[in-house]
């Protein structure tokens, strides 16, 4: 749960970061920026800011903004309604993203993860994405990611996005954000 003030502040910072990355946004889109704290109430540490450009039955594209060291917790996209799960490509536009996937665990991962969060992380293969670099995740792949010290802006190109269907490893997580008074 985040407060209205936290949300407003996060939206303002998101706009600054999008602007720095050279990404133009219309006035109408300002209203649509989503601030997700995954229900943990620790937005600065565990959270994600999103601007969804398009999300039809077949195609989705969004911009993700992460503040310095902000982390999107481990999850996967299961099959829904007889369709394979969401396939997604992350393309780093600004800053640095540390992306973690199944496979050989990094010896000294760059991520900084609180102990309670780390206890729900199961994949540690590290892929570092810098501006212009990208990675495509096939459906069902467990993954999580964290911005580096300067934060990050990441474009996501995918099939239909159904955030409510995502399966998080950490049972405390509630993907659909709430804003308190």
CB of 91 to a second copy, least distance (A): 6
CA dihedral of 92, 110, 71, 136, whole degrees rounded to 10: 40
Q: Work out whether 133 is an interface residue with a second copy (CB under 8 A).
A: yes
Which member of 9, 13, 23, 140 binds a second copy (CB under 8 A)? 23
d(CA 144, CA 129): 13
Helix, strand, coil shares, percent, the chain, to 5: 15, 40, 45
Q: Are 93 and 18 spatial neighbours (Cβ–Cβ below 8 Å)?
A: no
With H, G, I as helix, E, B as strand and everything else as coil, classify residue 158.
strand
Q: Work out whether 81 is an interface residue with a second copy (CB under 8 A).
A: no
Q: Work out whether 132 is an interface residue with a second copy (CB under 8 A).
A: yes
Point out which span in 15-23, 38-46, 101-109, 118-126 binds a second copy (CB under 8 A).
15-23
Q: Work out whether 136 is an interface residue with a second copy (CB under 8 A).
A: yes
Q: How many residues bind a second copy (CB under 8 A)?
A: 30
Residue 91: closest CA among 144, 155, 24, 161: 155
Other CB atoms within 10 Å distance of the CB of residue 10:
24
Residue 46: closest CA among 67, 61, 28: 67
Q: Mark residues 148-177: x for contact with a second copy by CB under 8 A, - for none.
A: -------x-xxx------------------
Q: Work out whether 104 is an interface residue with a second copy (CB under 8 A).
A: no
CB of 58 to a second copy, least distance (A): 5
Q: Work out whether 124 is an interface residue with a second copy (CB under 8 A).
A: no
Binding site for a second copy (CB under 8 A): 21-26, 29, 53-54, 56, 58-61, 87-89, 91-94, 131-134, 136, 155, 157-159
């Amino acid at each position: 749960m985040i407060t209205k003030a936290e949300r407003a502040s996060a939206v303002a910072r998101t706009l600054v970061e999008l602007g720095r990355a050279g990404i133009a946004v219309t006035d109408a889109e300002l209203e649509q920026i989503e601030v997700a704290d995954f229900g943990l109430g620790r937005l600065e540490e565990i959270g994600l800011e999103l601007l969804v450009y398009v999300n039809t039955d077949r195609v989705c594209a969004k911009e993700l903004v992460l503040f310095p060291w902000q982390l999107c917790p481990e999850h996967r996209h299961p099959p829904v309604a007889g369709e394979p799960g969401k396939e997604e490509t992350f393309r780093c536009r600004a800053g640095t993203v540390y992306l973690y996937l199944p496979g050989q665990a990094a010896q000294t991962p760059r991520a900084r993860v609180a102990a309670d969060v780390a206890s729900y992380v199961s994949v540690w293969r590290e892929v570092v994405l810098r501006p212009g670099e990208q990675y495509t995740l096939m459906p069902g792949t467990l993954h999580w990611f964290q911005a580096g010290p300067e934060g990050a802006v990441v474009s996501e190109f995918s099939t239909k996005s159904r955030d409510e269907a995502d399966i998080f490893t950490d049972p405390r997580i509630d993907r659909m954000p709430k804003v308190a008074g």
